[in-house]
């Protein structure tokens, strides 16, 4: 009812409607546990292919998107125009890959699997993580580094507790040592390959942190504050899907200055929660979040290691949406919906 531009709202609603249809189709398909594992494995393979394409074009034509379109900002990676969208995509993939490793680790700890089955998931997670410094996604590097550090610490603790029972064999101990060395060498090579980008973006991060210490508001904080003010004027119904770019200039401060006589246009709030509240209101948020909450409840009630990591990927992107706009990228949105709607069957039909 509060939509200011119905034509624009209908057009901008199409990706969201497609996501709802995708979710409904996946729920009707009722994948088996094996089917979900195959689906998630295929998603990881596809992610590796996209990453390989990005690395290739970064080496051969650094400032061209897929070697064709020039990117004046240098924010792209592979087919992703914005680096933090690639980061959100990688966050989901890395979480799934770690989930496969922990699922294999559980099987090994219960004498139903091999320890070397842990290796593929860890290798995939590490290889994907090493692509993040290339476009310079600082938030992506930080989040995935914490994720990997926590996963390695947890895995090390599980192996340490099992040392007297399952790691008595010298061959197994040598295998674990080899795994640690391999991961360390791979991480070192990746860091060396990205050392120039890491140095540049580390300097930006230090400068930004010094500004916060000196009392300067971060630009994302200003965006979020003005977006909340926009939402507060129509809190129930919102301004309409896709209306942010049209209405935000009335609430935007002067922090971006004027370019060629015109105020800089802000396309997104870099906070999906605030932007969605401004566009669809409280009622729209309730309609969208109710099925998400139901699916997360189903995931929380299962004992499957793999599906819990899938649920973790869902929660991670919900948290990341507080500092960026991952749900406005169709690839991230559809992948997120796919994981959300297929995680629970893994839990119900097969533990692990």
- In the DSSP assignment, the letter for residue 62 is T
Q: What is the 3-state secondary structure (H, E, C) of 245-264?
A: HHHHHHCCCCCCCEECCEEC
H-run or E-run covering 65: strand 64-65
Cβ within 8 Å of residue 7, ≥6 positions away: none
Question: Nearest Cα to 279, choosing from 223, 248, 250, 238?
Answer: 238
Report yes or no: 62 and 56 within 8 Å, Cβ to Cβ: no
Residue 346, pLDDT score: 44
The mean pLDDT value for 161-179 works out to 60
Q: Identify the band that residue 161 occupies on the pLDDT scale cut at 50, 70 and 90.
A: confident
Report the mean per-residue pLDDT for the chain. Answer: 84
Tokens representing residue 322 in the block = 């507080």
Give the three-state DSSP class for 3.
Answer: coil
Q: Please classify residue 120 by burial: count the beta carbons closer than 10 Å to its beta carbon, then call 0-12 exposed, 13-18 middle and 19+ buried.
A: middle
- pTM for the whole structure: 0.87
Q: DSSP states of 290-319 as a string?
A: HHHHHHHHHHHT---HHHHHHHHHHHHHHH
Which residue is it, tokens 């094996």? 34
Residue 69 CB neighbour total at 10 angstroms: 10
What is the rounded CA–CA span in Å between residue 70 and residue 172? Answer: 50
Q: Identify the band that residue 350 occupies on the pLDDT scale cut at 50, 70 and 90.
A: very low
The mean pLDDT value for 337-349 works out to 74
What is the rounded CA–CA span in Å between residue 338 and residue 22? Answer: 8
Residue 6, pLDDT score: 85
Helices vs strands, H then E, count in the chain: 12, 4
Question: Which of 86-90, 142-146, 185-189 reaches the highest mean pLDDT?
Answer: 86-90
Q: What is the pLDDT of residues 43-78, one digit of tens each?
A: 999 999 999 999 999 889 888 888 888 887 778 999
Residue 211, pLDDT score: 60
Q: What is the pLDDT of residues 93-111, one digit of tens each?
A: 999 999 999 999 888 877 6
Residue 205 CB neighbour total at 10 angstroms: 14
Residue 111 or residue 34, greater confidence: 34
What are φ and ψ of residue 223, in 5° steps?
A: -60, -50
Question: Nearest Cα to 185, choosing from 72, 177, 140, 257?
Answer: 177
């Amino acid at each position: 009812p509060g939509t200011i531009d119905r034509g624009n709202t209908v057009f901008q609603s199409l990706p969201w409607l497609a996501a709802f249809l995708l979710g409904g189709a996946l729920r009707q398909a009722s994948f088996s546990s094996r089917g979900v594992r195959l689906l998630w494995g295929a998603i990881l393979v596809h992610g590796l292919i996209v990453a390989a394409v990005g690395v290739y074009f970064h080496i051969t034509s650094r400032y061209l998107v897929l070697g064709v379109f020039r990117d004046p900002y240098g924010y792209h990676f592979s087919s992703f125009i914005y680096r933090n969208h690639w980061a959100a995509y990688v966050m989901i993939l890395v979480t799934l890959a770690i989930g496969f490793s922990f699922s294999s680790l559980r099987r090994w700890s219960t004498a139903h699997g091999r320890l070397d089955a842990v290796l593929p998931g860890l290798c995939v997670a590490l290889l994907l993580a090493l692509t993040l410094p290339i476009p310079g996604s600082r938030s992506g590097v930080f989040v995935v580094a914490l994720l990997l550090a926590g996963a390695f610490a947890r895995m090390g603790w599980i192996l340490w507790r099992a040392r007297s029972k399952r790691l008595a064999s010298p061959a197994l101990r040598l295998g674990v040592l080899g795994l640690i060395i391999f991961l360390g060498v791979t991480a070192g090579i990746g860091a060396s390959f990205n050392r120039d980008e890491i140095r540049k973006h580390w300097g930006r991060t230090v400068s930004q942190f010094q500004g916060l210490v000196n009392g300067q508001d971060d630009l994302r904080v200003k965006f979020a504050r003005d977006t909340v003010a926009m939402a507060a004027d129509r809190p129930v119904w919102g301004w309409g899907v896709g209306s942010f770019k049209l209405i935000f200039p009335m609430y935007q401060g002067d922090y971006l200055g004027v370019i060629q006589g015109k105020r800089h246009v802000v396309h997104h709030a870099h906070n999906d929660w605030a932007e969605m509240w401004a566009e669809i209101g409280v009622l729209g948020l309730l309609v969208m979040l109710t099925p998400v909450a139901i699916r997360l409840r189903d995931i929380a009630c299962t004992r499957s290691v793999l599906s819990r990591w899938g649920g973790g990927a869902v929660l991670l992107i919900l948290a990341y949406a507080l500092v960026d706009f991952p749900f406005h990228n169709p690839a991230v949105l559809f992948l997120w919906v796919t994981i959300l709607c297929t995680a629970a069957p893994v839990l119900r039909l097969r533990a692990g």
